[in-house]
Amino acid sequence: MGEDAYWTHLLDLLSRASPRDCAAAGLGCTRRTDRACGAPGICALDPVAPARGEGPVAGACGGFHGEARLRVEFSADDRHRAVFLRDERTGVARLWVDGEPVAEGGALDAWGYWLGDRHLVVRAEGPPGHPRQQWFPGSVTGSIASLLIHDVLRQRSRVLVPTDTENWTEPQVALESDELRVYPDSSARTADAPDRVLDVEESVDAPEPGCMACGLVAGTVPLPGGVVLRTAHWIAEHCVGPLGAGTLVVKPLRHVLHMADLTAPESAELGPLLRRLSTAVTEVTRPEQVYVCQWSHAGAVPDHIHFVVQPARREDMDRYDAYGPGLQMAMFRADRYPDETEVNAVCDALRAALAAGVRVPGSRVTGGTVGG
């Protein structure tokens, strides 16, 4: 059968298992705080289940472990399960929630916990550039950890990355009414001194206050042309600056200030995405070149990172007598914005090109206007 096939089959079974199934299979269990624990016989609800010394009334425990590399955690109502499989070499865990992979390629801890029956919380690799970050043998997250919050209702995840002033040495999340309260460590939780408070309905892809890029994603800032493309981790929109019709801005959905803080899944998606968008811009606008650049340093302060995918047209280079970074600088100085009708037309053409995956005949932008 082979080891890979064995684990694949086991993960499929566990993704459909109930707590009673896990108990009957003889997996080790962990105490559950939301139910009473009784005598050894309480777990033996199935005749084949071995007697064990801990377990809740009516349904075994909330967490189970087979080998050192395998763990299963059930939500409070037992409807959802998270399966962790740890890589013995790296210590990094892969995660499945209700049979679907979550945060593929991310550096996750080998365990997590549920907040009620909706949110799963898992510690993840912390930001490499944090001033207090340290790495130790066997450490997955580092001394300063990030947090993954997965919302099973919306089937989306968000990674919370601590800022340079947030020292998340032992980050914890508590659910209070309609809020998720994020604490840097256990002492802060005891003192009820959270670093962040998130609305439950905004816990995934919540915008950063005052960030224009986040506001465009959230829809609180007007976006001519609408969203051109959205993937699991990135979004492409028409540039709201004076860089001409057909120029796209490509940015991560979450608020990220540094390339070094991108997660592995975000990084893996980026290269193919930029190529795909550059191809669409080439097909629709027919420029001499497509510039792809990333500055994200607004007012000399790190900003929500974003890549500019800009068609470099001969008429623009002639008009401003510049090319490369100089062309962008000249266009910003001229402060000429494309007409919203142009922007809407080119975004429609780009969406069509992306959907088709090939050149859209007769649909192109020439000299800043959409034509045949």
Question: Which pLDDT score is estimated for 53?
Answer: 39
Q: What is the domain partition of the chain in residue ranges?
A: 3-161, 212-371
Confidence of residue 172 (pLDDT cuts 50, 70, 90): very high
Could you read off the pLDDT of 148-169 as tens digits, one per residue? 899 888 777 788 888 888 999 9
Question: Which pLDDT score is estimated for 205?
Answer: 55
Share of the chain above pLDDT 70, in %: 81
Confidence of residue 107 (pLDDT cuts 50, 70, 90): confident
Question: Which pLDDT score is estimated for 64?
Answer: 73
Q: For every residue of the chain, which 3-state class applies, written as one string?
A: CCHHHHHHHHHHHHCCCCHHHHHHCCCEEECCCCCCECCHHHHCCCCCCCCCCCCECCCCCCEEECCCCEEEEECCCCCCEEEEEECCCCCCEEEEECCEEECCCCCEEEEEEEECCCEEEEEECCCCCCCCCCCCCCCCCCCCCEEEEEECCCCEEEEECCCCCCCCCCCEEEEECCEEEEECCHHHHHCCCCCEEEEHHHCCCCCCCCCHHHHHHHCCCCCCCCEEEECCCEEEEECCCCCCCCCEEEEECCCCCCHHHCCHHHHHHHHHHHHHHHHHHHHHHCCCEEEEECCCEECCEECCCCEEEEEECHHHHHHHCCCCHHHHHHHHHHCCCCCHHHHHHHHHHHHHHHHHCCCCCCCEEECCEEEC
Question: Which pLDDT score is estimated for 240?
Answer: 95
The whole model's pTM is what? 0.53
Structure tokens at 130: 């944090």
Question: Which pLDDT score is estimated for 116?
Answer: 86
Confidence of residue 202 (pLDDT cuts 50, 70, 90): low
Question: Which pLDDT score is estimated for 340?
Answer: 93
CATH superfamily of 212-371: HIT-like (3.30.428.10)
Closest among 371, 357, 365, 372 to 248, alpha carbons compared: 365
Least confident of 29-38, 69-78, 301-310: 29-38
Confidence of residue 50 (pLDDT cuts 50, 70, 90): very low
How confident is the model over 118-139, as a mean pLDDT? Answer: 87
Closest among 106, 118, 95 to 203, alpha carbons compared: 118
